[in-house]
Structure 1
Amino acid sequence: MDGGYQSCWIPASAAFKALRQQYEEHHLYGDEEHCWKAAHDTLLRRLQSGQLAGRAAQVLFEWDDGSEPSEPLCPDRNGRVLVPSRFWTYFLQSKSIHREADWLPGDFSFTLSYSSGFGRLDATCKGTVIGLEVDENDLPKLAWTGNKEASGRGSMQSAVARSGGRSPAKWWPDFAEELALYVHECGIPDGQGHDGQSEMMEAIFKRLAEAGKPEPGRATVQSVINAVMARIRSAGN
């Protein structure tokens, strides 16, 4: 790039983890879940505005009526595709129940419907990003300026090295209990990958509500449910 600029691509999970930990260490929010949401919102906002560059193993747009054909998304020499900022605009415009964000593998998807206002849908767009990476140079300085000055290295290694045990969130024991009971009594939905995630989440949150137990943020537990389904499916159960 111009001026000798060189991108430094890191997994989205590493960026998310570093920023979340910095929110915790600076005591900017009261608990872990609020720090999770702050990191989640900050990264999505910067991706949407174009301030944070992202690339992925796969980027897909699908319009059911062909009203907005996608421009060609050309992979770089590493086979990665730059994610256009409009993906994140559509992602944030979609309803929360119609989008999924999993920072661990860097997988994001949404379904966005446009209506003319006359009781019918004009078009539906589905978008998917698989294996998101972001440019470390674009990340909020809060997360690593001090780390670079202190160690001469990027913040990701420092943030990971500092991570350790912490007390579980208040909602965790109840959520883990209901998740285990659900899997024991009902098994997991049929399918592959993230298939059935929403079904499991709705059932577990219904159990929590009926028992008067605290509920975590839905995005917070998506990766937990995905991991449980993946382990059970890989074992052939």
Structure 2
Amino acid sequence: MAQLEQFTAPARGSGGVDAVVARMRAIGDDLPPRDGLAVFNRVYLSVTEEVDRHLGAGRFADARAATTLDLQFAVRYLAAVDAAAGPGRPPACWRPLFQYRRHPGVRPLQFALAGINAHIGHDLALAVVDTCRTLGCEPAAVEDEFDRVGDILVSLEERIREELMPGPDLLQIADPLTHLFGSWSLERARDGAWAAARALWALREHPGLAGEFRERLDGAVGLVSRMLLTPLPD
């Protein structure tokens, strides 16, 4: 985590987000386009750039809270990337993506969904708690910023599907992909992340229970990611 400290401190404006965007671009430049991590990285990069534009345009009522949440969210993903590249071990929610990132039977949309599932289902809840600790506030104080970032994600969901779903000449693949896409819901994942964040905040004075809750959340989200990455026939 040492090399990620520049992203963990609150930043005014979008300068800290700019640093995250630069890091994501560097990750993408180092990977072949078909790599599963590269696929998710492109999706997350587009979301982060959109958040940066909203910050620059003053569309968040509390820019400091929005920036802090965005950075705390991003640092979880970047830490998982570093753990997978080094001697560490990424959280269970991220392991399926790293394990299957080069599997020829897994389609780009599946990589995108697995990464989004890991990042929202697990990382977002922890990022809310980290944000509240950083700002010294309750989760309710950042709910508007949480919802605004979630609205940006939802607005990009249809574009992601259109870009990553195969064309009409690949309907044999499209049918199971359509099933996978329809089986996972960004809205439900976001609602679950908010509920998990509130539960973790309520358990902050009980580290043992909070740690068990985080571990179970990590494992459950990882199981969903593994199912989303089921190889499909050619």
TM class by shorter-chain length? under 0.3
The structure that is helix-richer by fraction is 2
> TM-score, normalization: structure 2?
0.27
User: Could you say which structure has the greater relative contact order, defined with CA pairs below 8 angstroms and 6 or more residues apart?
Assistant: 2
Larger Rg: 1 or 2? 1
> TM-score, normalization: structure 1?
0.26
